[in-house]
Amino acid sequence: MGGSCGDADGSGPEGDAAQLAALFDLSLLRFQQRDALLEAIQRYRRRGQYDMAKAWETRCRRWYADRYDSRRNMVDWDYHMRIAPRGTPGLDASLGSIIHFFHFRHWRSCGVAHELRDSVYDVTNTSLLSTARGRTKEFKDRNGKDVGRSVEAYGYWGDVVNSPYHCFGTTAPLAPDAGLFSTSNRQFSHSAMDVAEHNVMAMLHMLRHGEPYTRGARDDAGANSGAGAGAGGSHRAHAARGPTSAEVLAEAAAASRDAARGDGSGEVQQQEQQRQRESQQGEQQGEQQREQQQEQQQQEEHQEQQQQEEQQRTADARERARAEEAALRARDAALDAAAWRRLLSRARVRLACGDLRRAVTGRPALAGKFRAATLGHMHLHLAGAAHGAAAALAPGAPLLIEGARNMVQLSDAQAAAFECKAAEIAAAGGFGRAECAPQAAAAGCGPAVGPVPPGHIAFVRVASGTRGDA
């Protein structure tokens, strides 16, 4: 599955396949494990109907058991007695946790943690579904052991207690931003959802551009609030044209003056004036009709010209949009190619599963090849001597073990006991606490451990013959 990065810059299915082949190494997997991996990936692509709400309810009923009807009280207890008193990493614990109680309670009730926009989140996330295999307990044999059939169940078997906010929502190590953790009246101005969105953006930006991410200032002002002001001023209202005109008013004024002077002109003069008025009115009406026809013709020509100009503007806008889209696609293609070259020159992912000693630590070719390792709290036993994790790490390489600080099932005393047990198992496996890192570096064993992520316990691989300090 290996490949060079020189031919991995192309686009399309062949280019994507070459890039993935150069990034992932499946040589440590058996064919059965590769088939299982392929089946899991193909299930991600399926759009079959799966009742995630029912699966979540079933999982919660299994966890709460007899206390299912009082689960809201248990959620309140877990938050105010476990999460809130432990505070936010790096800040005063009296401020509480940046994880908001409303978000935590909402996730515990329905399983939806991050709602970033006003939409209905009713599509199943198939990447959270997996297959659990086991054996039924139908009867017991003569030795008292449970005997039954091998079964498997496809569904959701993940966390329903601790919430996923601790993963990305409580710290911002890649792109520190003090504004995300600012407070007002001893209340956080942002929540864990904002911090998680910031961290995901930072990771994607660093993968794409290869540089640190800085949260840009958001312009809350309306971009077009003052645009178009006075645009309607070009359309002026026309003067009203009624039956009364300036000539009619002048004739009426002259007639009133003549009547006041007592200068009677007789019936013939009145008839003559009436004929003149009718003639003038006819001429005015004809002039008005001609003006109306000319105005109507001008309006039609103006509308036709406006339609032509609008069509031309639409065509120009489409052409600019095509050019901008082509430029953006070219820019994205260049960024993708640069990101793949940078990634393939620095990293290679080797997938392994099953027995750790058989797959990784027991291979002489991989001895001392790993420069760092991390373990979840459920895999703490892998740091012991039985699995040989120390043999695969270079001397002085750090080992980060997830602590029990974020587990709401455990009290503070139990979390401290877990840390002591982790130190004991790691010491037996050839690791020392992170405080021994300067001495190990001075002895030529390797570099010292950098900043430790919150909620983790740091160890280092000590040199042969050196005993780890538990």
CA-nearest of 213, 207, 212 to 344 is 207
pLDDT band at 148 (very low <50, low <70, confident <90, very high): confident
CA-nearest of 458, 377, 412, 378 to 87 is 412
CA 381-386-391 angle, to 5 degrees, is 100
In a domain, 120, yes or no: yes
Find the range with the poorest average confidence among 146-160, 212-226, 388-402, 449-463: 212-226
5 has pLDDT over 50? no
Tell me, what's the pLDDT at 294?
86
CA-nearest of 401, 356, 408 to 97 is 408
- What range does the domain containing 115 cover? 46-209
Q: Are 396 and 456 in contact (CB under 8 A)?
A: no
Q: From the CB of residue 160, how many other CB atoms can be counted at a distance below 10 Å?
A: 17
Final residue in a domain of this structure, among 209, 239, 254:
209
Instruction: Please tell me the distance from the alpha carbon of residue 260 to that of residue 58, in angstroms, as a whole number.
Output: 105
Tell me, what's the pLDDT at 59?
92
Model pLDDT for residues 323-373, shown as the tens digit of each residue: 999 999 999 889 888 988 988 888 888 888 888 888 888 888 888 888 888
Model pLDDT for residues 399-435, shown as the tens digit of each residue: 999 988 889 999 999 999 999 999 999 999 989 887 6
Model pLDDT for residues 296-316, shown as the tens digit of each residue: 888 888 888 888 899 999 999
DSSP string for residues in 87-152: --TTS-GGG--SS-HHHHHHHHHHS-----SSS---S--GGGEEEEEEE---EE-TTS-EE--EEE
Residues 6+ apart with CB under 8 A from 269: none
Classify each residue of 230-241 as buried b or exposed e, where b means 16 or more C-beta atoms within 10 Å of its C-beta.
eeeeeeeeeeee
Tell me, what's the pLDDT at 230?
39
Residues 6+ apart with CB under 8 A from 297: none
Tell me, what's the pLDDT at 330?
92
Q: Which residue has the higher pLDDT, 312 or 246?
A: 312
Tell me, what's the pLDDT at 149?
86
Eight-class DSSP state of 215 = P
Final residue in a domain of this structure, among 209, 231, 266:
209
In a domain, 232, yes or no: no
In a domain, 185, yes or no: yes
Find the range with the poorest average confidence among 180-189, 302-311, 459-468: 459-468
In a domain, 61, yes or no: yes
Beta bridge partner(s), residue 375: 401
Q: Are strands 129-135 and 150-156 parallel, antiparallel or unpaired?
A: antiparallel
Model pLDDT for residues 108-129, shown as the tens digit of each residue: 999 999 888 888 888 888 888 8
Instruction: Give the H/E segment covering residue 313.
Output: helix 266-346
Final residue in a domain of this structure, among 148, 175, 209:
209
Beta bridge partner(s), residue 184: 187
84 has pLDDT over 90? yes
CA-nearest of 74, 68, 95, 99 to 409 is 74
Q: Are 157 and 132 in contact (CB under 8 A)?
A: yes
In a domain, 80, yes or no: yes
- Give how far Cα 305 sits from Cα of 237, 248, 310, 332, Å: 20, 38, 9, 40
Residues 6+ apart with CB under 8 A from 93: 85, 86, 87
In a domain, 198, yes or no: yes
Return mean pLDDT, the chain. Answer: 80
- CA distance between the termini of the chain: 41
pLDDT band at 450 (very low <50, low <70, confident <90, very high): low
Tokens coding 73: 């009280």
Tell me, what's the pLDDT at 435?
61
- How many domains in the chain? 2
Instruction: Please tell me the distance from the alpha carbon of residue 85 to that of residue 95, in angstroms, as a whole number.
Output: 9
188 has pLDDT over 90? yes
Instruction: Please tell me the distance from the alpha carbon of residue 287 to that of residue 298, in angstroms, as a whole number.
Output: 16
In a domain, 181, yes or no: yes
In a domain, 199, yes or no: yes
Q: Which residue has the higher pLDDT, 106 or 237?
A: 106
Q: From the CB of residue 244, how many other CB atoms can be counted at a distance below 10 Å?
A: 9
Block residue for tokens 């293609």: 333
Block residue for tokens 């030795």: 143
